[in-house]
């Protein structure tokens, strides 16, 4: 009887010991999971999956493995104690403010896009009203704007085009219609006509500054200056038909795209137009949308505009994108 009771006592002891071990292990795992997903984490929430892997040939030893999905461009940046970090090889550093701002804009482009921000120190008086009215008239001629727009105040028109924020012109409005660009060094277009097929020697080198339309006019005029223009008289018209060496509409579309899709917040970069003997190159600062790569850009794909508001404004008066003197 004593032996039986002793065996029962031993069984109860080992059972309670195992339960205690399980409780401690469970508590350790909960603490680990809590440390990984809660303390100091400012968001967004991260799904950390904790796994315990037995160490071969080491009974009672386990490796704590934590699994989580990596950050993807376009997601909200993660912060710890309110501070964002980034990895440089094996070192973790505090993320610079401009790098963090760029990721915030990529996460919510419609809220933080550069062209939607209110322009500092700019009023309606700084915008070229004649250019705005010209766009309105051409939009009416194109059937995109009702004639009643001619009698509406300029501020009301800009509000409909989403170019005012609390009564203040946005950066997009400055880009389109302002002649005061002293605080916007990125409103620049570099143009060059090179000799041959490389950049070793140039024949002409120019630099244009101004709003969207002035840059577009300057680019088109530079192409007309350095590209061959042929003409012929036909039987069905009294006017001479002229044809540019490169189709005019193709050049126009390429320049408009370069201006529309440029990342204007990058103030230290400029758009460039380079004419060679065998080609024309137009470079615009920026990156592909996340859905587009250098491999699939030539394949059929959806449109992913980065400057939605600007493009909407351009569509209202498409013929105003090229002023008459740019064709001369």
pLDDT at 33 over 70: no
| pLDDT tier at 313, thresholds 50, 70, 90 | low
- Predicted pLDDT at 233: 75
171 near 114, Cβ under 8 Å? yes
Q: Stretch 188-204: mean pLDDT, rounded?
A: 94
- Predicted pLDDT at 197: 92
- Predicted pLDDT at 30: 54
- Predicted pLDDT at 192: 96
Q: Stretch 106-116: mean pLDDT, rounded?
A: 77
pLDDT at 311 over 80: no
Q: What is the pLDDT of residues 286-306, one digit of tens each?
A: 877 777 888 888 888 787 766
- Predicted pLDDT at 26: 54
| pLDDT tier at 112, thresholds 50, 70, 90 | confident
Please, which residues have CB within 8 angstroms of residue 150's CB and are 6 or more apart in sequence? Answer: 133, 136, 137, 140
Q: What is the pLDDT of residues 48-100, one digit of tens each?
A: 888 888 889 888 888 888 887 877 777 888 888 888 888 888 888 999 988 88
- Predicted pLDDT at 199: 92
Please, which residues have CB within 8 angstroms of residue 307's CB and are 6 or more apart in sequence? Answer: 113, 115, 172, 260, 261
Say how far residue 137 (Cα) sits from the centre of its chain. Answer: 31
44 near 71, Cβ under 8 Å? no
Token pair of 279 as six digits: 């080609």
- Predicted pLDDT at 27: 55
| pLDDT tier at 308, thresholds 50, 70, 90 | low
Task: List, as one string, the DSSP characters of 7-37.
Answer: HHHHHHHHHHHHHHHHHHHHHHHHHHHHHHH
Alpha helix (H) ranges present in the chain? 2-37, 97-107, 109-112, 129-141, 154-160, 171-177, 212-226, 248-260, 308-316
Omega of the bond leading into 44 within 30 degrees of 0 (cis): yes
What does pTM read for this prediction? 0.67
- Predicted pLDDT at 176: 92
Token pair of 88 as six digits: 């440089």
Instruction: Give CA–CA dist 80/88, Å, rounded.
Output: 17
Q: Stretch 12-35: mean pLDDT, rounded?
A: 49
More confident residue, 183 or 322: 183
More confident residue, 265 or 4: 265
| pLDDT tier at 265, thresholds 50, 70, 90 | confident
pLDDT at 214 over 90: yes
């Amino acid at each position: 009887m004593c032996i039986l009771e002793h065996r029962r006592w031993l069984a109860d002891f080992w059972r309670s010991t195992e339960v205690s071990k399980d409780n401690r292990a469970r508590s350790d795992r909960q603490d680990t999971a809590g440390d990984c997903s809660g303390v100091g984490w400012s968001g967004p929430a991260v799904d950390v999956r904790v796994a315990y892997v037995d160490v071969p040939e080491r009974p009672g030893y386990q490796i704590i493995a934590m699994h989580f999905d990596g950050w993807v461009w376009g997601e909200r940046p993660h912060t710890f104690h309110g501070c964002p970090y980034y990895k440089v090889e094996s070192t973790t550093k505090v993320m610079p403010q401009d790098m963090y701002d760029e990721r915030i804009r990529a996460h919510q482009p419609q809220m933080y896009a550069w062209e939607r921000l209110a322009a500092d120190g700019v009023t309606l008086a700084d915008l070229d009203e004649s250019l705005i009215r010209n766009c309105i008239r051409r939009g009416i001629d194109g059937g995109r704007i009702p004639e009643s727009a001619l009698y509406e105040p300029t501020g009301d028109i800009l509000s409909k085009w989403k170019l005012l924020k609390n009564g203040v012109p946005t950066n997009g409005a400055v880009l389109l219609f302002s002649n005061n660009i002293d605080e916007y060094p990125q409103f620049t277009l570099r143009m060059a006509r090179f000799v041959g097929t490389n950049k070793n020697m140039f024949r002409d080198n120019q630099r244009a500054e101004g709003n969207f339309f002035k840059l577009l006019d300057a680019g088109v005029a530079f192409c007309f200056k350095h590209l061959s223009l042929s003409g012929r008289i036909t039987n069905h018209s009294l006017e001479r038909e002229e044809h540019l060496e490169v189709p005019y509409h193709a050049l126009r579309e390429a320049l408009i795209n370069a201006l529309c899709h440029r990342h204007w917040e990058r103030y230290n970069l400029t758009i460039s137009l380079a004419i060679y003997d065998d080609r024309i190159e137009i470079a615009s600062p920026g990156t592909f949308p996340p859905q587009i790569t250098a491999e699939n850009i030539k394949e059929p794909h959806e449109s992913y505009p980065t400057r939605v508001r600007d493009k909407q404004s351009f569509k209202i008066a498409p013929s105003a994108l090229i002023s008459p003197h740019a064709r001369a």
